[in-house]
Each structure stands twice: as structure tokens, then as C-alpha cells.
Structure 1
């Protein structure tokens, strides 16, 4: 069984990117302290416990997936903004974009009895249309220990360079066995999957992923973290969510206000501050009032 390379938490971004290019995945060890792991776990636990199991074999009939983590958890915001991960994104993703963005935030809890997920590449979320471009950098933060018994993520090192139709043989599949507080970093091109949980306890990891700024996000961050919440966050995190131009002409909008009451073609961060704060709520209130008036008139 192949093993993944392991690096210290302060490994250089260039080293991380180089390993992702060849192997497709690696483990950063001891990135979070036990106290930090406990804080993250405490903040997400109520949401995880309220999340039902998946509805198909891919999402997992004994697996829960909980999102909207930026809006729900200050501790998760810190993980999203971790300097080592963003530095790796700068090197790995900016080869194909001006700005990268947050793609997905999700707590994945694999419960006892869950079978192994089918092996796949995450970049296929965009179909087979991206050729010759690496679209994303992904992380799974271990909130519990990841073991061979409890469903540690399966990974096929070296598979980013494989032909699309090649299937991994059992001896080519390794597992991301790691302690709580460590992080699996992997590309969108590497073949991987959730493991089988043969233990009597949950395996919990936080899947935070980043993609090129000109691609559609897997998790719609504007809905998961709407302006009334996003405007309270750090500007860099706001930009990662998508409240910034993806390039010169990617992402602008026009507030749908009555004639003369708003600007035309503004960047998305207009919705977050200054005179713009509350425009969305004001518009909804105005529309609602008009609808009520029509009902009364009718």
C-alpha cells in the first residue's frame, strides 16, 4: 500500500505545490493544537448532530455532510484563512487565475458501518471540460484521528498524471492515516475517496476547498454566507467567499433598485459596506410591501 508524504505544519508553499503536482496529495502534521481541535469540534457539533445521513451511495447512507461553515463557526473561519494553506493556494492556483475563491466548506462525518466511497477526482464537478488545468486545492482537517479502521481518506498517489480512463488497482490505493489536528492537502486531479468505517466511532473531518476564481463554486457561498453576515467578516475572507471581482469583468452586479436609487455595474463588495449596507433588505421590504398592497387592492 502506498504512503503519502508528510510535512511539518510550516512547510514551504513551493514544496507543497511541487508534491501536489506529482503525487496529488500530502499530509501536514500537527497544524492544530488539541485545544484548537476541541474548539472547532465544539462549534460544529450542534450542526453536525442535526444533519441527516446522505441520500445516495456517493454522499453516503451513513455519512453526514454539514455546510455553511463560514457563517456558522468563527473557528472554521480561521481554518479557511490559515496562512500555510493560503500560501499554498497562492503558488498552486494562481498559475491559472488572477484570484482564487472558497469552493466548499463541509464537515464530513463518516459513521460506523459506512462503506468505502467510489474512487473519483473532485475536478469532475465541472464535468470533463477542464483539460490541462488544475482547478482546485483541497484540504481535509482531521477533527478526530483518521485511522485505517475508521475511514481515513483513500488516496492514489501519482494519479493526477493518469489518463482519465485508468482505474486504480487495490495495491495503488493508500490511506491518509493521521492524528487529529493534521491536514490532508490534495488536488482536484488526484483520485481519492472516503474510506470504509469498520470501527465503532465516527470519523470527522472538515473539507475546505479552494478553486480558480473564474469557476462556479461547489457551495454557493453568496447564499451560504449572505451579505448581512459577510459584511461582519475580515475583508480577505469576504473576498475568498466571492465578494470581490474574480478578474477585470467577472462578478460585477447592479443592485435591482428603483430608478435613480442605486448605481450600475458595481463590484460585489458594494453589497457589504458603507451606503450599500442594507440595500438588499430594503429592496426585499419594498417588494414585500408592494405585494401586500396588490393583495389588499385585489
Structure 2
């Protein structure tokens, strides 16, 4: 993705997109708009997708998207994780959001590494009139203080069921909704496994819910070691009732033999990184 963004057409059928929207709509309708210009006074953001929506659990694991995560993120981590999942509804009368890079969630501290891969799944058609995402192609390498000229900005016009895939380093924003209907998109984002998630998945999808999921989804939510010794905990139980140091998936009832930290592969990868460092 030399431009930093690409549209995958027709990943979902219109009927499938409608089903996802219908499943989430009760929570969307109950969500209050933002309280500042950036979040949008006519925009709602509804999260906890994995906990609330069985259909979204499949979208989080979409093979086309995960293949891009493998290519973009795995060179900088042992595993990546779900960074956030939310429905973004831009309602009529909303102004265009200010242009930004999503990587700024971590400030401007990260240099020389791409921290995330983002997706916007169109649950309605995205048009120029209803607020299709604004994107500045080729802006991934821009300095943080570089501002886009209006001529450099385009929009991700796409039909419902299509997906905009873009990096955390590309300049973008929500568009203005000058139409008479909502623009609804599903924002599913992945980040390096050693970074703090924007949406705290352990609270949005706690162990009592996550333990019912398959291991791949559990790992994506963050119930896995970020590397050999990143993310373990000590169960707050009676003396001797549990091992003292266990990986996050222990909270879901998953037990494994061998190391109580990361896997042997994690340790080998860490040792190789140190040797090459």
C-alpha cells in the first residue's frame, strides 16, 4: 500500500452488511454523540464489538485483513492485537473531522515503525455527500506537523460491504455529512502486541465473555503474551491455589504445559532479536 490506503470492494454482500448493522443497531441508537469537534457533535462511536456482535467476531478475523496485518505488523512484533472496534455513525449535519494520523493515539513518541493497521467496513454506501472517509494518499511518511493542501485530499467512496484498509500513518478523517441519512462504518483496528490498546479489550470483553470464543479470537483480543515476558499476571487467589506467574489466557481457562510466560518460540525470537540488536 504505497498510498497508505486501499479499498477492498465487496468483501461483504449488501445483505451481510445489513445484518451486521441490524445486530449492532440497538447499541448504536443508544449511543450519545461526541462532546467536542474532533469526536463530532453529530457523530456516535459504539464499541465492545467482540462482546456484543457474533457477526463482528468473524469480521475481526477476516483472512484478507489479517494477511495485511501479517505483512505490515509482524516485522515489528511477535503478535498483533485488536486495538479497537467501534461503529462510527456520522449523522446528517456533521462537519468534516480534522485531518490526523491514528498513530497519534500514542503521541508522537513512536518513530521508524508502523504501529497499526485500520479498517473501515462500509455498512452503508460511502459517498462524497454523506461523509466518506477523507484520505491523503502518500502521506505516511509526512512529518507530524505537515498539513495537507485541499488538493491532496480525496475520499474513500465505496459501496456498502466494501472495506477501506489504511495504515496508522496515513493522514485521514471523517468527512462532512451533507446528506439526509446516516453514514455508518465499522472501524476495526489492529496494533503491535507490545503497545497499549486504544480500547481496553479486557474490560470491553472480560474473561467471562471471552472464554467462550475460539483461541484465535481470544489471542487477537489480547489474551496472549505480547512477547516472551510481556503480559503475564499472578492470580489473586489463596496461597498455592494457582501458579504464581501465568499468561493472560490462563484467565480464560486455557492451560498449557511448559513455560508459564511466553512460548518457546517467543523466547527463541526474543533471543534472536537481542543477538541481532
TM-score in same-fold range (> 0.5): yes
Measured in 2, the distance between the counterparts of 1:118 and 1:163 equals 17
Residue 45 of structure 2 corresponds to 65
Q: 1:56 and 2:36 equivalent?
A: yes
Match of 1:99 among 79, 85, 88: 79
TM-score by length of 1: 0.84
How many residues are aligned here? 256
Q: CA deviation at 1:258?
A: 2.0
Residue 295 of structure 1 corresponds to none
Which structure: larger Rg? 1
Q: CA RMSD, aligned part only?
A: 1.1
- 1:94 aligned counterpart, secondary structure: helix
Measured in 2, the distance between the counterparts of 1:179 and 1:34 equals 9
Q: 1:209 and 2:227 equivalent?
A: no
Residue 191 of structure 1 corresponds to 171
Residue 104 of structure 2 corresponds to 124
4+ runs of 1 displaced by more than 2 Å?
Answer: none
Q: CA deviation at 1:163?
A: 2.0
- Contact 2:201-2:221 at 8 Å conserved across structures: yes
Runs of at least 5 residues in structure 1 that lack an aligned partner in the other structure: 1-18, 277-298
Q: 1:177 and 2:157 equivalent?
A: yes
CA offsets, 1:212-239, max 9 Å, x none? 0000000000000000000000110000
Runs of at least 5 residues in structure 2 that lack an aligned partner in the other structure: 257-277
Could you say which structure has the higher helix fraction?
1
Q: CA deviation at 1:260?
A: 2.0
TM-score by length of 2: 0.91
- Cα pair distance change 1:192/1:275, threshold 3 Å: closer
Residue 14 of structure 1 corresponds to none
Measured in 2, the distance between the counterparts of 1:201 and 1:178 equals 16
CA offsets, 1:14-34, max 9 Å, x none? xxxxx1xx2111100000012
Residue 88 of structure 1 corresponds to 68
Residue 280 of structure 1 corresponds to none
Measured in 2, the distance between the counterparts of 1:188 and 1:125 equals 9
